[in-house]
Amino acid sequence: EKGGHEYFMLKEIEEQPEALANTLRGHFESGRIILDEQRISDQDLRDVDKVFVVACGSAYHSGLVAKYAIEHWTRLPVEVELASEFRYRDPVLDRDTLVVAVSQSGETADTLEAVRHAREQKARVLAVCNTNGAQIPRESDAVLYTHAGPEIGVASTKAFLAQIAANYLVGLALAQARGTKYPDEVAREFAELEAMPAAVQKVLSTVEQVRDLGRRIADSKAVLFLGRHVGFPVALEGALKLKELAYMHAEGFAAGELKHGPIALIEDGLPVVVVMPSPKGRAVLHSKLVSNISEIQARGARTIVIAEEGDETVRPFADELIEVPAVPTLLQPLVSTVPLQVLAAEIARTRGYDVDKPRNLAKSVTVE
Ligand code: F6R
C-alpha cells in the first residue's frame, strides 16, 4: 500500500503532480474561475476590501506563500495569521473582510474557532479544505476543496502543495470579481498553474540525489534555511518538516535578516539550505541571495542550494546544488518545496525515526 516505498510520505511526495492536477480540475470553466460552494453573492465578493488567511502549521505557510500572489493580483491587503493568535487578538473585521481558513483536515480546533470568531464579527469566510464535509467548510460561506486525496503521513506534503494551488485560485477568483485582472489574464495565470504538475514531476527526478544528500548530513546538529520573497515561506516549511520528522533544530529565515542576527549562528560545516529565486525573474532578488550565500560560505557554512536549472551564477557558492525547473516566480514554491520534503524525510529515516508517525504529533489537532 506504500506503493513500493519505505514510507508513505515518499509515496505522497510522488503523488504531488496528481494532487495539483486534481485540485485545479474543473475550476476554470467558460473563461471563469469557479469555487466549489459559494453561499455569498458575487457582489459581496466584489466588495471585499481586506483578506485574512488563518491557519496552523504547514497550512499557515501555504497562506504566507499565497499572500504574494493575492496582493499582486487583487491589490487587496492580505494578512496571514496563525489561527491560534488571530482569535485571541481583537482583529479588525467587518462584512467586507474575507477570511480564508486553510485546513487539510477541516477539523483543526484553532482554525475552526477562528472561523467562528470571524463570522460573529460578520466577516465572510472561505474555507480551503482537503476533507469533504468537515466542520470548517460546513461553517464557511464558500468552499474550495483541495483534491490531494487522503494524506497518511502526519507531515503534510501533497496537501500543502494543493493548498498553495487552491489559495492561488482564491486570489484569481477575487481578481476576476474585482476586475483587477482582465479575463484573458486570469486565463493565462490559470494556464500557468496547469503547467505545474509537469514541473513538479520533473523535480521528482532529484529524489535520489536529495536522499543521498540527506544521508550525508543526517548527523548535523542543526540546519538553517534561507529564502527571500516567496522563497521565505518555503524556508519556513523546510525547517518545520525537519523539526517534526528528524527532531533536529531547524530554522527558516528571511535571507535579508541574516545580518540582523542569524549570521552569528553560522559555524564550520553547518548545513544551510538556500532557496534561490529565478535568475530570470527579479534580478535584484537573485543577486542579493547570491551575495548572502557567498557570505555564509565564507564563514564556513555548508551551502545546499535549490536553484533553477541553468543558473550558473550560484554554482561557485553551492557545496550541493539541487536544480529545479524554471517556472514563473510566484509558482516557484510548488517546485522548490519538494526537495525540502525529501530531505527531511530521508534525514529522519537515516536517524532511525518513523517518518510517517513522528513522535508527539497527531494528524488532526482537534484540541487547542
Ligand atoms: C506539518 C503539518 C501541520 C499541519 C497543521 C494544520 O507537516 O502537517 O503543521 O499543517 O496541523 O493542519 P490542518 O491543515 O489539518 O488544519
Residue in 58, 61, 146, 357 to alter for ligand 1 test, most ligand atoms within 8 A of Cβ: 58
Instruction: Say yes or no to pLDDT of 4 above 80.
Output: no
Q: What is the mean pLDDT of residues 55-68?
A: 98
Confidence (pLDDT) at 358: 82
Q: Is the C-beta atom of 337 inside 6 A of ligand 1?
A: no
Confidence (pLDDT) at 154: 83
Among 238, 66, 265, smallest CA distance to 169 is for 66
57 CA from centroid of ligand 1 (Å): 5
* Confidence bin at 173 (pLDDT 50/70/90): very high
pLDDT in tens, 22-33: 999 999 999 999
Instruction: Say yes or no to pLDDT of 273 above 90.
Output: yes
Return the C-alpha cell found at 130.
Answer: 482537503
363 is catalytic: yes
Residue in 156, 241, 363 to alter for ligand 1 test, most ligand atoms within 8 A of Cβ: 156
Confidence (pLDDT) at 281: 80
Confidence (pLDDT) at 282: 81
218 CA from centroid of ligand 1 (Å): 24
Return the residue whose CA atom lies nearest to atom 11 of ligand 1: 57
Contact between 272 and 317 under an 8 Å Cβ cutoff? The reply is no
Of the chain, the percentage scoring pLDDT greater than 90 comes to 88
Of 50, 243, 288, 363, the active-site residue reads 363
What is the spatial distance between Cα 237 and Cα 61, in angstroms, rounded to a whole number? 6
Q: Residue 84: CA atoms inside 13 Å, Cβ hemisphere, count?
A: 10
Confidence (pLDDT) at 330: 96
Confidence (pLDDT) at 362: 81
Residue in 104, 105, 236, 364 to alter for ligand 1 test, most ligand atoms within 8 A of Cβ: 104
Average pLDDT, the chain: 95
Q: Is the C-beta atom of 104 inside 6 A of ligand 1?
A: yes
Q: Is the C-beta atom of 156 inside 6 A of ligand 1?
A: yes
Return the C-alpha cell found at 251.
Answer: 530554522
DSSP 250-287: EEEEEGGGGGGTGGGG--TT-EEEEEPPPTTS-HHHHH
Contact between 167 and 330 under an 8 Å Cβ cutoff? The reply is no
7 CA from centroid of ligand 1 (Å): 19
105 CA from centroid of ligand 1 (Å): 8
Quick one: which H or E segment has residue 248? Answer: none
Q: Is the C-beta atom of 252 inside 6 A of ligand 1?
A: no
Counting atoms of ligand 1 from 1, which one is nearest the CA of 160?
A: 10
Confidence (pLDDT) at 5: 81
Q: Is the C-beta atom of 146 inside 6 A of ligand 1?
A: no
Return the residue whose CA atom lies nearest to atom 7 of ligand 1: 155
Q: What is the DSSP letter of 309?
A: T
Confidence (pLDDT) at 127: 98
Among 318, 302, 317, smallest CA distance to 269 is for 302
pLDDT in tens, 317-345: 999 999 999 999 999 999 999 999 999 99
Q: Is the C-beta atom of 108 inside 6 A of ligand 1?
A: yes
* Confidence bin at 283 (pLDDT 50/70/90): confident
Instruction: Give the residue, 249 or 281, on which the prediction is more confident.
Output: 249
Return the residue whose CA atom lies nearest to atom 16 of ligand 1: 103
Instruction: Say yes or no to pLDDT of 364 above 90.
Output: no
Residue 314 contacts by C-beta under 8 Å, 6 or more apart in sequence? 276, 290, 293, 305, 307, 321
Confidence (pLDDT) at 153: 83
Question: What's the whole-model pTM score?
Answer: 0.97
